[in-house]
Every structure is written in structure tokens, then in C-alpha cells.
Amino acid sequence: MARTHITAVVNGDETEFLAEDGTSLLNALRDEVGLTGAKEGCGTGDCGSCSVMIDDKVTTSCLVFAPEANGATILTVEGLADSGQLHPLQQCFLEGAALQCGICTPGFLIAAKALLDKNPDPTETEIRYALAGNLCRCTGYDKIIRAVQEAAREMRGQ
């Protein structure tokens, strides 16, 4: 299988790695870059655990071929905190007990960030639909939705 040399800005750092052409960006990030925050829950785009931002758009990295990332700017959960300062979403997930096992949490945080980037004041329904691509089997979503609401309030300065 052909391997491609990929240069991308990953969590703010210019990063170079080699990946087989048919491999997913998710596997490349995990195996080649060593960022295991994004998880594979399904490999078919149905669970959202591998969500990352590529050029400011959220997507499931399991459905992206690694070479597609060449030249892109990628944000994973590892890059969400800013110099040791947690993102408000991370802080609200912690304070609101919005995680149980935690496997889906990285994907939820990225998807929620993507939502709040676009819509700083979403309704509960808008949050639920925006996060419908992220499966959580532990929480029943209740505390996740509340944590996103709270983070949105904080980020709006309310």
C-alpha cells in the first residue's frame, strides 16, 4: 500500500507523519502522531467518538483518508485546552458530571465546540440535534446537554 508524507497543523503544531493512503485519519492520528484522544467506536461515522475539527469543521476522522489531511489544520481533544487552561466545555463537563465512562467525551467536546462556534446560544433542541451524531451509552445525555448549556452561558459571559 502506498504511503504518503503528510504535513498538517495538529493542535497548533506543524506535524509531519507518514500514513498508508487507505488508512483513516483517525488511525494515523492515533498510531503515527500518538494522539489517542479521538477514539474509534464504530469506524463507520455512526458514533462520533473520533470527532475532530479539520479546518474548523467538525467531522468523524474515521471517514477521512489520512492523505486528505495534508495541509489541513486539525484540532483534537488534546488541543482543546489553551496552555493548561481548560476550555469552558471541558470545565462544565467536569463540574456537571457529564461523563461516566468517558470514552465518548472527546468526541462530544469537539462536536459541542463546533456547535458553539457557529451558534453561541443554542436551544436545548438545537444542542440535541447537533450532538445526535455522538453516541453516549452511559449518561442518557441529560447531563451532557446541561453541561453544553452551561458552557454556552459562560462563553457568552452570562
Closer to other proteins by Cβ: residue 9 or 91: 91
Residues binding other proteins: number (CB under 8 A) = 85
Where in 19-48 is the site for other proteins (CB under 8 A)? 20-24, 27, 30-31, 34-48
- Could you give the maximum distance between any two Cα atoms of the chain, in Å? 53
Question: Which of 9, 88, 133, 153 forms a contact with other proteins (CB under 8 A)?
Answer: 133
135: exposed, middle or buried (Cβ count in 10 Å: 0-12, 13-18, 19+): middle
Question: Which of 28, 33, 131, 152 forms a contact with other proteins (CB under 8 A)?
Answer: 131
Question: Which of 9, 73, 88, 103 forms a contact with other proteins (CB under 8 A)?
Answer: 103
- In angstroms, what CA-CA distances link 57 with 76, 116, 150, 157? 12, 12, 22, 24
CB of 8 to other proteins, least distance (A): 14
DSSP 7: E
- Contact between 122 and other proteins per CB under 8 A: no
- In angstroms, what CA-CA distances link 142 with 88, 97, 137, 139, 148? 18, 10, 12, 7, 10
For residues 46 and 135, the answer to whether their CB atoms sit within 8 Å is yes
Where in 49-88 is the site for other proteins (CB under 8 A)? 49, 51, 54, 57-60, 62-65, 67-68, 76-78, 80-81, 86
- Contact between 18 and other proteins per CB under 8 A: no
